[in-house]
Amino acid sequence: MRRVRFLIAAGAASLLSSAAFAADMPLAPPPYAPPPAADFGGWYLRGDIGMSSQSVKKLDNALYSTLTSLNQRTGFDSAGIYGIGVGYQFNNWLRGDITGEYRGKSNFHGLDIITFDNGGTPGFGSDTYTGSKSEWLFLANGYVDLGTWYCVTPFIGAGVGMSRNTISNFVDQGVGSLAGGGIGPSLAYGDNASKWNFAWALHAGLAYKVTNNLTLEMSYRYVNLGNGVTGDLRTFDGTNSVYNPMQFHDITSQDVRFGMRWDLNSPPVYAPPPLITKG
């Protein structure tokens, strides 16, 4: 009996000693996890470069009404694209931005094969055109992000805005002949001219998130730039009997672009709570 009392007393003393030691130890911090990320982004800046592949539906001129027939071939060389913009990420799937870009000078080349009637005498000829075209393009764009796999996000979008199309260094070199002979070569120039137009665009591409702040893009864009116009066409000596600028109808472009988006909202940094000690 005395031995049992001794063992009970020894156990109680050991428990009291352990409790006193634990009271002097700092409390363990509670499990901590940062709050979930909010379902929105914020402001971002963007920059883009690319190349264009442009076309024009048709050329028109006041003198075309006098022709018997017209067969037209036209084309543009590729040119560079340089743009900047600012945007806002509304949530994980919707964002929008406003962009401005300069579309570099693209060399133009065209050919008209014509037949005409000169006072009852049939004639035929050709006109070869050269010149260049450039634009300032301003768009308000909206995009839908379609989900993210391994940091890659496909997206689609659309934009509307304005385009200032400039036609410069336009030259018309012609040659013609009547059935009985006559009519030789001709040469005409058009002054540089610019025209503002409504413009719209469709986008599709892939975005790759490099860091929390940096996203790279590769995209395709179809853009309708509206119309363009030259100054009045005049002969080499500066004369012209009728006002006949060359009209460029329905200019479109298929663009390939590489872009960068920089998130202006730094990701939050979470610090663990301070250790709590018992005084």
pLDDT digits (tens, 9 = 90+) for 150-170: 999 999 999 999 999 999 999
pLDDT of residue 237: 77
Contacts (Cβ under 8 Å, ≥6 apart) of 168: 105, 131, 132, 133, 134, 192
Residue 277 maps to a domain: no
Of the two residues 27 and 142, the one the predictor is more confident about is 142
What is the average pLDDT across 196-219? 96
The per-residue pLDDT for range 224-266, each reduced to its tens digit, is 999 999 999 998 777 788 899 999 999 999 999 999 999 998 6
Residue 66 maps to a domain: yes
Q: Has residue 14 got a pLDDT over 80?
A: no
pLDDT of residue 122: 81
Q: Quick one: tokens of 149?
A: 């796999």
Residue 102 exposure: Cα atoms within 13 Å on the Cβ side: 3
Q: Has residue 218 got a pLDDT over 90?
A: yes
Query: What distance in Å separates the CA atoms of residue 273 and residue 131, rounded to the nearest whole number?
Result: 69
Angle (CA) 202 206 207, round 5°: 115
What is the average pLDDT across 190-211? 96
Q: 106-120, 133-147, 204-218, 265-279: lowest mean pLDDT where? A: 265-279
Residue 15 maps to a domain: no
Identify which of 67-76, 92-101, 119-128 has the greatest average pLDDT.
92-101
Contacts (Cβ under 8 Å, ≥6 apart) of 74: 55, 56, 58, 59, 108, 109, 110, 111, 129
What is the average pLDDT across 67-89? 94
What is the average pLDDT across 43-58? 97
Residue 225 maps to a domain: yes
- Percent of residues, the chain, with pLDDT higher than 90: 62
What is the average pLDDT across 114-128? 82
Residue 236 maps to a domain: yes
Q: Has residue 148 got a pLDDT over 80?
A: yes
Residue 241 maps to a domain: yes
Residue 31 maps to a domain: no
Total domains in the chain come to 1
Across all residues in the chain, what is the average pLDDT? Answer: 84
Neighbours of 261 (CB within 10 A): 22
Q: Has residue 32 got a pLDDT over 60?
A: no
The model carries a pTM of 0.78
Range of the domain at 190: 40-263
Residue 145 maps to a domain: yes
Which domain CATH number covers 222? 2.40.160.20
CA-closest candidate to residue 146, choices 95, 190, 195: 95
Query: What distance in Å separates the CA atoms of residue 235 and residue 190, rounded to the nearest whole number?
Result: 9
